[in-house]
Amino acid sequence: MIEIQIKLPLRYGDAEIRRAIFHTLPTLQSGELHAYTLRAITPDTSQKPIASYKAKAILDVDAVRETGLLKMKKVVRAYHEPVLLLPEVTKKPSMRPVIVGFGPAGIFCALTLAKAGLRPLVLERGKAVDARAADVRRFMEEGLLDPDSNIQFGEGGAGAFSDGKLKYGTLTPEVYTVLCEFVEAGAPRSILEQKAPHIGTDNLPDAVKKLREKIISFGGEIRFETTLKDIIFESGRVSALRIEEGGEEQILACDTLFLATGHSARELFYMLEEKGVALEARPFGMGVRIEHKQSAINRQIYGDVEEGILPPATYHLVTHLKNGRSVYNFCMCPGGTVVMASSLVGGVVTNGMSNYQRDGENANSALLVSLFPEDFEGDRPTRGIAFQEEIERRAFVLAGGNYRAPAIRLGDFMHGAEPTFSGTVLPTYHGGIALTSLDELFPSFITTSLKEAILDFDKHQSGFYDEDAILTAPETRSTSPVRIVRGENGISTSHGGLYPTGEGAGYSGGILSSATDGIKQAILYLNTLK
């Protein structure tokens, strides 16, 4: 198999692809092309005028005389499908491994261990995804929050109610495995053909259920509505867990524990701190969700391109301010909505989501200011969590309760004016908004940084500073403010048998990186059983 890169018109089919293949490989005869596979395609809007826009594509080509074609080194290279090889287990453990948390890291950690024949046990405090979805709908419609079943907790983790972004840099065996597993579980095959693929909120729940079924088929077990209350250590290593299930507590023997809880499991971090587990505070981001009309973002990125010829536009913006902070956009959801992402009773949290078609009227993205451990008093590694909780509770009070969110027009925010509402950009936050000055919510270094960054973003993306854009706050859960320290062997540096895993442990950010970290942690454990 060989790999080539080609350029295609924005509207293309088989004829255009074949024409580009023979143009790129002029020595290839028409009867020598057996097959091709479109592996990645990205709109290229870097060239002006707009009429010259092309799509950049990577193709896997099966043809005769491939050895000869490989001599064209500038346009052709050999392609080998990245294969994930699991270590062969020769020593069966005395106890099956336990995974706490069934988000992307926990799912793929469990799947890897199950494929190796270790029959992992998964404990998840939330509900299975269908029951969880019902709780999320009730929260959005009635403001009734279940602290254990919401957008943060339950089967699939926080990623199950997001855009389902799977952006990656290098197509490693772990990345390719995750993409293929999602496709096999019913996700759109297009995620294998995009450099920045997304599954969509509407497709993720079914895919998650099928991944669960696959784990079970390999001998794994998943217990929902089961909460880890305590980890019992003996001689510096995991020996048992105290769990709560159905309102009753029990002790579960355990010597290998993968903590894949996600960054919202705050009680867990406080418990680990009390236990003396090695933790460290780490930088994180905090800010707002900004909403523009998706049509406006399309014009900012593409210009006046015929509607529908290009996918809904996304943007990636970052600036480094003189005050030493960075401001950046995160989790951009084209054609999406701002969602109620609280898990703290009496606290407001926002996040973004969009369906596979990304056909909503608004685009939304987090605008985050970088925060550092030294911003907070004391030396506790969990001090960033305490600050998150403070802001979430303050937002709840400022917006008048019932999980409404503080919001303001961008123009009023930038001018320090009394909050008003023009109606040009309609907010999509499900629980309703309360017009509020964000200066009452955030410390001044956050609001000042946001204002400076927005002006800079507008220089790079003209029109970003739209006075009718809506800012909804707060976005507090972008990443974990604490890390559970682990060594190169994947194990906690302070306690044996403890494998910190995924985003909550401080080693990933997003669905794909969390899933691949779950795989890597599982493999590190399997290597001890060779």
Percent composition of the chain: helix, strand, coil (DSSP 3-state, to 5): 30, 25, 45
**40 — pLDDT class (breaks 50, 70, 90):** low
d(CA 343, CA 136): 11
| Burial class of 88 by CB neighbour count within 10 A (0 to 12, 13 to 18, 19+) | exposed
Q: Per-residue confidence at 170, pLDDT binned at 50, 70, 90? A: confident
Burial 225-251 (b: 16+ CB within 10 A, else e): bbbbebbebeeeebbbbebeeeeeeee
pLDDT above 70: residue 525: yes
DSSP class of 492: B
Give the total residue count for the chain. Answer: 530
Which are the contacts of 340, defined by CB distance < 8 A and separation ≥ 6? 139, 140, 151, 348, 349, 350, 403, 405, 429, 430, 431
- Same topology, domains 2-78 and 98-280+486-527? Answer is no
pLDDT digits (tens, 9 = 90+) for 100-144: 999 999 999 999 999 999 999 999 999 999 999 999 999 999 999
pLDDT bin (cut points 50, 70, 90) of residue 360 is very high
C-alpha 356/C-alpha 340 separation (Å) is 19
CA distance 446 to 438: 10
Indicate the helix (H) or strand (E) that contains 56.
Answer: strand 54-63
Q: Write down the pLDDT at residue 53.
A: 62
**311-327 residue pLDDT tens:** 888 999 999 999 999 99
Q: How far is CA 347 from the centre of its chain?
A: 22
Pairwise CA distance, residues 415 & 396, whole Å: 24
pLDDT band for position 52 (cuts 50, 70, 90) = low
Extended beta strands in 117-191, E state:
121-123
Calculate what percentage of the chain has a pLDDT beyond 90.
72
Dihedral sign computed on CA atoms, order 101, 105, 111, 116? negative
Task: From residue 88, give the alpha-carbon distance in Å to each of 96, 115, 523.
Answer: 16, 11, 10
Q: Are 475 and 287 in contact (CB under 8 A)?
A: yes
Query: Residue holding tokens 């003189």?
Result: 322
Q: Where are the domains of the chain?
A: 2-78, 98-280+486-527, 283-475
Looking at the structure, give the CATH architecture of the domain made up of residues 2-78: 2-Layer Sandwich (3.30)
- What CA–CA distance (Å, rounded) separates 354 from 161? 9
Q: Are 421 and 409 in contact (CB under 8 A)?
A: yes
Give the model's confidence band at 74: pLDDT under 50 very low, under 70 low, under 90 confident, else very high: low
Among 243, 507, 430, 206, residue whose Cα is nearest residue 499: 507
- Give yes or no for a contact between 292 and 334, defined as CB atoms under 8 angstroms apart: no
Only one residue has tokens 């705050």, namely 266
Q: Model-level pTM?
A: 0.91
Q: pLDDT-derived band of residue 38, with 50, 70 and 90 as boundaries? A: confident
- Token pair in block for residue 104: 């992307």
Q: What is the model's pLDDT at position 48?
A: 61
The one-letter code for the residue type at 264 is: S
Per-residue confidence at 51, pLDDT binned at 50, 70, 90?
low
Tell me what pLDDT residue 32 has. 83
Report d(CA 499, CA 34) in Å as an integer: 47
Residue 332 pLDDT: 93
Residue-wise pLDDT tens digits, 361-413: 999 999 999 999 999 999 999 999 999 999 999 999 999 999 999 999 999 99
Query: What architecture (CATH level 2) is domain 98-280+486-527?
Result: 3-Layer(bba) Sandwich (3.50)
Average pLDDT, stretch 234-242?
A: 97
DSSP 365-379: EEEEEEE-GGGSSS-
Q: Where residue 353 falls among pLDDT bands split at 50, 70, 90? A: very high
Decide if 2 contacts 66 (C-beta within 8 A): yes
Span 432-456, average pLDDT? 97
Q: What is the mean pLDDT of residues 221-248?
A: 97
Res. 47: pLDDT tops 70? no
CB neighbours of 179 closer than 8 A, spacing ≥ 6?
166, 191, 192, 197
Find out whether 107 and 177 touch, Cβ atoms under 8 Å: no
Query: What's residue 302's pLDDT?
Result: 84
Q: Which residue is it, tokens 């008048």?
A: 400
% residues pLDDT > 70 (the chain): 95
| Token couple for 435 | 């017009």
* Average pLDDT over the chain, rounded to an integer: 91
pLDDT at 434 > cutoff 80? yes
Averaged pLDDT, 230-259:
97
Nearest C-alpha neighbor of 21 from the set 54, 52, 61: 61
Neighbours of 78 (CB within 10 A): 11
Query: What pLDDT was estimated at residue 49?
Result: 58
Q: Sheet harboring 248-253: ordered strands across?
A: 226-234, 237-245, 248-253
Query: Do the beta carbons of residue 371 and residue 326 sit within 8 Å?
Result: no
Q: Band the pLDDT of 524: cuts 50, 70, 90.
A: very high
Separation CA 330–CA 327 (nearest Å): 10
Q: Which helix (H) or strand (E) holds 287?
A: strand 284-293
Residue 5 has pLDDT above 90, yes or no: no
DSSP 486: B
d(CA 391, CA 447): 13
